[in-house]
């Protein structure tokens, strides 16, 4: 699952080196946490959430074939605080 998600996302975003995927496998289910560069969030979500919905559907098709349940969450990386000039 992680490989499929990585392939899809890295071919969509502008900064593929910033893509991080955390995979947790439990009894019959897979939880994926996707982290991308803040500038790529809009690309991953898409207009009206269409892109992230399509990615979830692709993962669901593969999960059904493997008799698993899948959960994909999109997370923003922590942004470094910007110091105000004095």
| CATH number where 28 lies | 3.30.300.20
Total domains in the chain come to: 1
Q: How far apart are CA 46 and CA 69, in angstroms?
A: 24
Spatial CB neighbours of 64, under 8 Å, sequence gap ≥ 6: none
Q: Per-residue pLDDT averaged across 28-50, rounded?
A: 91
Residue 62 placed within a domain: yes
Q: How far apart are CA 42 and CA 65, in angstroms?
A: 30
Sheet order of strands, 29-35 included: 20-26, 29-35, 69-75
pTM (global) more than 0.75:
yes
Residue 85 placed within a domain: no
The string of pLDDT tens digits covering residues 49-65 is 999 999 999 999 999 99
pLDDT of residue 76: 76
Print the domain residue range for 68: 2-75
Residue 65 placed within a domain: yes
Residue 83 placed within a domain: no
Residue 26 placed within a domain: yes
Q: Per-residue pLDDT averaged across 79-84, rounded?
A: 64
Q: How far apart are CA 1 and CA 59, in angstroms?
A: 7
């Amino acid at each position: 699952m992680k490989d499929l998600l990585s392939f899809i996302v890295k071919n969509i975003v502008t900064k593929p080196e910033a893509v991080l995927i955390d995979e947790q496998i439990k009894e019959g289910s897979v939880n994926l946490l996707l982290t991308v560069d803040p500038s790529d969030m809009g690309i991953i979500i898409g207009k009206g959430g269409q892109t992230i919905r399509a990615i979830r559907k692709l993962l669901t098709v593969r999960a059904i074939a493997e008799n698993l349940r899948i959960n994909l969450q999109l997370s923003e990386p922590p942004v470094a605080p910007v110091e105000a000039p004095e």
